[in-house]
Structure 1
């Protein structure tokens, strides 16, 4: 439980003050936050809420979407918000192909340059940029970075304290090279965040909502946790789930089950 962190997405409809109180009551010490909900409640107000409750913000999601107009200013704002919240990292979902483009290599190269553009500001505010690879099915519209190797290659030109990677079991479980890449990520000191969720089939019509609570799908979750541990990662383990059948339930009920499943299948 010392490493367990509840990602806010798992209890999406749980109001932020209730989430914070529920975590405190359950002995949870870390939360991963999302910008939309934080902005709705107020960044400074959220920072005070979690700080007064004794909770650590383990990550802020999300920045990126580098194919969109205004991405530079938006990501600088996101870095500022992460710093205000005390989040050590800003999770970057790179974005998909630009409109009308089929050039995946060019889009991925643009992500690398965009990250480099943000490095000075990230260093100034003390927040690590965390590149998250997403499953290849999201390559066209959400994330042209699909493997941990691609994420590490994009991060490699920049200092590790400024740019790292996210290891998310839902997105990486299929890749037989991921174990070597986790070792590499540890060697290069680039593991920013570790997120656990299961892959549940059949996928729903909205594939974004196919993430399951630990133990409900086919992912070797403990193998991933042991791999990141062996690579030297000692940070939080966020459980991050997107699923309507989870979101429709009371937040505290979901939190309690999440903790039990984390202890059984991840820890």
Structure 2
């Protein structure tokens, strides 16, 4: 079974040191990290913490938000931080409209990738554009489909610009399987989360652990693995109910959910 990476956003309020300790104790050898808790703990200390526990970092989140005034310097710093941590991918939440038209906002994303791609190559970290569900287009990401994300990637080598493929955001798209099959070299990070209904008032925290909602995971997992994707697979779930629980319980249930879903994918294949 492909290795699990526990994205710390799944247990948002679990301190970084406890995340690493808990993962090591549960034999989860990979973590996805977020910039804010890493900065709070200290970048150098975080690196030592992860390495001393024998873990690896599969991604750092987040860069992007290209509509913000400080997008350039902030994203260069984020690339440097990812490189320091040994993360192969910087997850990009590309940002919403920021008072611009949709076409203007998307043009800023394209220009941002062009400006940052040389530095990404220099530090060995892939800018991983995350297409997000269209309901987030206005405020979080104007990159709303996998096809749109791949169009943004096309001018650049895959080592510089790729995608973060999150099942929560793409499961509904009838083009997703053929697009995955034709663009496996662009997948820099693969994340699992489920679509649960009814959605809460705050739709950002309406995701579920894999297997608790409506996503058909087996075809998605099989399609990604068939491309030769060889990195650990992250579980990243924004869910207020999970965040209110002890981190050890969340990690335990994440491992159980991941094992079940991957087992079903293996059986279906």
Q: Specify the TM-score bucket, using the shorter chain as the normaliser.
A: over 0.9
Q: Which consecutive segments of 4 or more residues in structure 1 shift more than 3 A? A: none
Task: State the secondary structure of the residue aligned to 1:266.
Answer: helix
Report the Cα distance in structure 1 between the residues aligned to 2:155 and 2:104, rounded to whole angstroms: 17
Query: Structure 1: any 5+ residue segments left out of the alignment?
Result: none
Question: What corresponds to 1:242 in structure 2?
Answer: 238
Counterparts of 1:182 and 1:157, CA distance in 2: 18
2:198 aligned residue: 202
Task: Find the counterpart in structure 2 of residue 138 from structure 1.
Answer: 136
Alignment-derived partner of residue 127 in structure 2: 129
Aligned runs of 1:47-62 on 2, under 5 Å? 47-62=47-62
Q: What displacement does 1:231 show?
A: 1.8
Length-normalised TM-score, structure 1? 0.96
Q: In structure 2, how many angstroms separate the alpha carbons of the residues matched to 1:185 and 1:41?
A: 37
CA contact (8 A) 1:2 1:29 kept: no
In 1, Cα distance between the equivalents of 2:94 and 2:63?
A: 8
C-alpha deviation, 1:236, in angstroms: 1.1
Structure 2-normalised TM-score? 0.96
Task: Give the equivalent residue in structure 2 for 1:71.
Answer: 71
**Equivalent in the alignment of 1:228:** 224
Is residue 2–residue 233 contact of structure 2 (8 Å, CA) maintained in 1? no
Cα deviations by residue, 1:50-97 (Å, 9 ceiling, x for unpaired) = 011110100000000000001000000000110111100100011011
**Root mean square deviation of aligned Cα:** 1.0
Q: Are the aligned partners of 2:90 and 2:128 in contact in 1 as well (CA < 8 Å)?
A: yes
The match for 1:191 among 166, 178, 187 is 187
Superposition deviation, residue 165 in structure 1: 0.5
Q: What secondary structure sits across from 1:38 in the alignment?
A: helix
- Could you tell me how far apart the structure 2 residues matched to 1:242 and 1:63 are? 18
| Matches of 2:215 and 2:12, distance apart in 1 | 23
- Offset at residue 222 of structure 1 (A): 2.2
